[in-house]
Structure 1
């Protein structure tokens, strides 16, 4: 074990120093002074998104009983590195090409939104990666996600708000594909489980995400932000109610299961994100929330028993049915509602072309996520990166110092 700790000491600090040196040099060359007026406009949106990613996802991923330090700590580490990387990429790939400028706070907000894809992906490989692998995965994924958005925007002519909405879709399937490169833990691994305390922390993260999700969807909406906020709230409300309903119906003794609420309460906000600003009637958003919650809970029952064992796929935090499937539902609902709304507006040929571009953007996003995620997973498992032994999966003590090993930990 000592050699692994020595490798950890000799690799992570130097990798962080190298990345920060590159970031500082590039910021010095390409970024000018701040806009003193922008904080009055964009700070509330930035604050909500920042709370979601730091508090929401930080607690959301703390469900493993021996991986709490790493879930919250590594989430902060990859977030602050990824945001800096994403700000630079947004500048090079979007603002220079389009010859337009954005305020610094707006760039940070968009970079933080992009980082949600990375945080979701880490949930699929939670407990199986070391800090070096997480940092490299963050840099690679944020680059690929920005390129995916650029392809959708320039080639398929999809609006950037829709391209950004693919963040859940991309993050889920990139993480699932990357997890195929990691060894599967033993089904009897006692560390791959939760406790009452860890479930409570994870539910706290769900509550943070639930509260701030309407602000997140309204921030991504191009217009009619108030409508996006209201539709998201109704979808979240129905998905939460449905989660309790289905949890009682699907358990043997009729009791509620925390993992069901933990995963399905957010499904409505994810599914309605694509259409939050275009839905004119709240009942449509409520139906989307209901369907998303049903897909999330039934998916957790079926996929874990059937699909995951067949593919040798181990999804630690269930990102497939928590984020992936509701995002697929939302993308399909966006196409259906677009056709219904514009049947009499566009000629048949033009409408078919617009629909195919939306479906194309969806397929391109998933394809890029799966292919690059799988390649990234294989690369991260090279001997060069000293991947974590299977016996040390889901274990804080392999990375963190415990001055006193508390009884019961």
Structure 2
């Protein structure tokens, strides 16, 4: 590796090993195992496939950042799940509640969705130390946001967890606003047909397993699966149609343009943020339609849903901005803008092939 590349040997390994030592000790003393809810394991596998394969490939559209995308995605997930389980355990101890361990593991894996989405906003710009610290901070804040929704607004766990996409998108955008933007003339964040194909593969993984993700915490699983599947089907058909209608040559196009001035590497605002906002708005409209004959009840339900949405997005933006300022301290060795979107900055390439 060229000497001009920064060496993370004195920071990344020790940070990872220190976290893992703490996790092992805490798991040994406070996390006994049981075999309850083993029937939920297949659905947990689906969520795990979404996290590892779905998001891992979905974010592989950068032509020179494939190793880092999949490698760092796996690192953040395996560290983050352990961290999330322990955070949830301490919250439950404070509330004097108890949950099956597999249920905790499921919620921990689902919480990592927020982290992976946020990572997409700073993809190629944040170094491993910054990504690991971002993961820990975001999991703590997201759990705090869910606790506030559960405690003050009486929102159920299953509904508060569905805010994960909203939280992850705007937490990531707030962090991204604190990083220097790449030069508009650089082509290192460009795509290739191969990288687009891998990203399309990740999209298909996410599409296939999304009904499991939405239904895993619900009491009415088959209803949620049914609605999610047909919602995805209608959305896919509409996307194909609009793609043709909005291109000059009438051809299908892989990704929508991002008119935001804020640099968002993966377009998480339009991929996850705006759909979450539209989903919240649709939920309010459906509540009004369903409870039209019961105005007092309708007003209360609408207030709760709007309050939960506003609380989640506010916490995400404020804490994301604070986290972004922290991550850009000198202590965490931000990488220079000229080295954005480069696998070579982190990974060894003995041959350094010409076509890299």
User: Is this a same-fold pair by TM over 0.5?
Assistant: yes
- 105-114 or 315-324: bigger deviation: 105-114
Aligned to 1:367: 314
Structure 1 gap segments, 5+ residues each: 260-299
Q: Which residue in the other structure is 2:291 paired with?
A: 342
What SS does structure 1 have at the residue aligned with 2:99? coil
Cα distance in structure 1, aligned partners of 2:214 and 2:254: 25
By relative contact order (CA 8 Å, sep 6+), the higher-ranking structure is: 2
Alignment deviations for residues 187-230 of structure 1 (CA, whole Å, 9 cap, x no partner): 11111110010001100000000000111111132x22111111
- 1:45 deviates by 1.1
Q: CA deviation at 1:99?
A: 3.0
Corresponding residue for residue 14 of structure 2: 14
Are 1:231 and 2:227 counterparts? yes
1:379 Cα deviation from its structure 2 partner: 1.1
Deviation at 1:14, TM superposition (A): 0.7
Q: Does 1:256 align with 2:252?
A: yes
Residue aligning to 1:379: 326
User: Hey, what does 1:96 align to over in structure 2?
Assistant: 93
Aligned to 2:79: 81
On the 8 A contact 1:4/1:386 being kept in 2, the answer is no
For the 8 Å contact 1:124–1:175, the answer to whether it is kept is yes
> For 1:168 and 1:80, how far apart are their aligned partners in 2?
19
Give the aligned CA root-mean-square deviation in angstroms: 1.4
What's the counterpart of residue 355 of structure 2?
408
Task: Tell which deviates more after alignment, 365-374 or 237-246.
Answer: 237-246
- Determine the structure 2 residue equivalent to 1:314: 263
Are the aligned partners of 1:165 and 1:220 in contact in 2 as well (CA < 8 Å)? no
User: What CA distance in whole angstroms lies between the structure 2 residues aligned with 1:36 and 1:185?
Assistant: 49
**Counterpart among 124, 127, 132 of residue 130 in structure 1:** 127
Aligned residues: 355
* Alpha-carbon separation, structure 2, partners of 1:253 and 1:3: 44
Distance 2:237 2:292 in 1: 34
Q: Note if 1:192 corresponds to 2:141.
A: no
Question: Which structure 2 residues correspond to residues 264-283 of structure 1 after superposition, within 5 A?
Answer: none
The answer on 1:118 being equivalent to 2:119 is: no
Matched ranges for 1:48-59 at <5 A? 48-59=46-57
Matched residues in 1 for 2:324 and 2:171: separation?
9
| Runs (5+) with no aligned partner, structure 2 | none
> 1:38–1:350: structure 2 CA closer, same or farther, 3 Å change rule?
closer
1:4 to partner: Cα distance:
5.2
Structural mapping, 1:55-70, within 5 Å: 55-70=53-68
How much has 1:126 moved relative to structure 2? 0.4
Does 178-187 or 247-256 show the bigger shift? 247-256
C-alpha distance in 2, partners of 1:350/1:229?
27
State the Cα deviation string for residues 219-270 of structure 1 (Å, max 9, x = none): 132x2211111111111111111111111111111111122xxxxxxxxxxx
Q: Specify which structure has the higher proportion of helix.
A: 1
1:399 correspondence with 2:342: no
- Deviation string for 1:116-149 (max 9, x for gaps)? 0000000000000100000000000000000000
Whole-angstrom CA distance in 1 between matches of 2:240 and 2:35: 47
